[in-house]
Copies of this chain bind each other. A is one copy, B any other.
Amino acid sequence: MSHKKPLIFVTNDDGIFAKGILSLVEAVKPFGEVIVVAPDKPQSGMGHAITVNTLLRMAPSEIIKGVKAYTCSGTPVDCVKLGIHELLKRKPDLIVSGINHGENTSTNVLYSGTMSAAVEGAIEGIPSVGFSLADFSAEANFDTAKVVVKRMMEAVLKHKMPFDTCLNVNIPNIPVEELKGIKVCRGARAFWEDRVDKREDQFGTPYYWLSGKFGNMDKGADTDLWAMENGYASVVPIHFDMTAYHVMGELNNWEIQ
C-alpha cells in the first residue's frame, strides 16, 4: 500500500439504492478515497454472471452523497469489470462488496453477486472483501456490521491478502454488545432444500418461483454457520480455483486416457 490514501472500490448486488451499500460507504470512507459502481437495480442471485450478449450502461449517480458514485446496468461482476477497465483505468487498492441484505454463508458464495464481485477482485489481484448481514429486510440495522467492516478494514490494510484469495465476511443480526468476536472459518457444507412454487397467470399458463429453505447438514464447530449461530462474525477465505485436487489421483485410475 502506498503512502497516498488507498482507493477503495465499493459495489454490491442489492443495487445502489440499498441501505447496505450506503452503510458500507459510511464505514470505509475514513480509510481512503471511495468510488462506487453499483447495479442500477437488484442483482441478487446473479452469481458470477457477466453480460456478454447485450450492451452495458454506466452513468454517474447522486444517490450516495459525498463520494464518486456510478450505476451500472449489469451484474456485480460487470460493475467490477467496467469500473476497473473503463472508469478507473487502473486497479483500486481494495474492493469491498455489500453490505448484503441477507447472509452469504456456505455454498451461497456461488449464488451471491456480492461475493462474486469479491471473487472477481481476487482474479484481478486486488484485495477484496464481501460483507453480508443476516437480515434480508430493506430496513436492516447495519450498526454491528459497520463495526465488523471497520475491524476488517484495519486488518486488510495492515496485512497482505493471501495469494489468489478474497474474504467472505458474514455478520449475525445481533446488537454489537452481544457480538463475541470475528472467527476465521471454513464454509459449511450446507445447501438449499429447493422448493418450486407453481402458479397460474391470468391465461391459465403455469409459471414458477424458486423457493426453499437453507439446511445445514454440517455439524462442525469450525464453520461459518456455527460461528453465526453462536454470536460470531465469520471470515471465510475464498479462492477462485475450483479444482478438486484431492480427487485427481482417484480420477487417474478411471483409465479414461
Query: A78 at the A/B interface (Cβ < 8 Å)?
Result: yes
Contact check: which of B44, B196, B235 meets A53 at CB < 8 Å? B44
CB distance from A34 to the nearest CB of B (A): 22
With a cutoff of 8 Å between Cβ atoms, the chain B residues found around residue A202 in the complex are: none
Q: Within the oligomer, what is the number of copies of this chain?
A: 2
Is the C-beta of A6 less than 8 angstroms from some C-beta in chain B?
no
CB distance from A187 to the nearest CB of B (A): 5
A136 to nearest B CB, angstroms?
A: 11
Q: Are B210 and A56 in contact (CB under 8 A)?
A: yes
Q: Say whether A86 faces chain B, with CB atoms less than 8 Å apart.
A: yes
User: Which one of A57, A78, A151, A194 has the greatest number of beta carbons of chain B within 10 Å?
Assistant: A194
Interface of A is mostly: mixed
Given A45-B51, A207-B55, check contact A242 B238 (CB 8 Å): yes
Which residues on B sit within 8 Å (CB–CB) of A240?
107, 110, 242
Contact between B56 and A165, CB atoms less than 8 A apart: no
A119–B191 CA distance with the chains assembled, in angstroms = 13
Contacts of A191 in B (CB 8 A): 123
Q: Is there contact, CB below 8 Å, between A256 and B155?
A: yes
* Residue A111 lies at the interface, judged by CB distance under 8 Å to chain B: yes
A-B contact pairs, 27 of them (CB 8 A): A45-B49, A47-B49, A47-B77, A48-B111, A49-B49, A50-B111, A51-B210, A55-B208, A55-B209, A56-B209, A85-B195, A109-B242, A110-B116, A155-B254, A162-B247, A162-B251, A164-B189, A164-B244, A184-B251, A184-B252, A184-B256, A184-B257, A235-B256, A237-B248, A237-B251, A238-B243, A238-B244
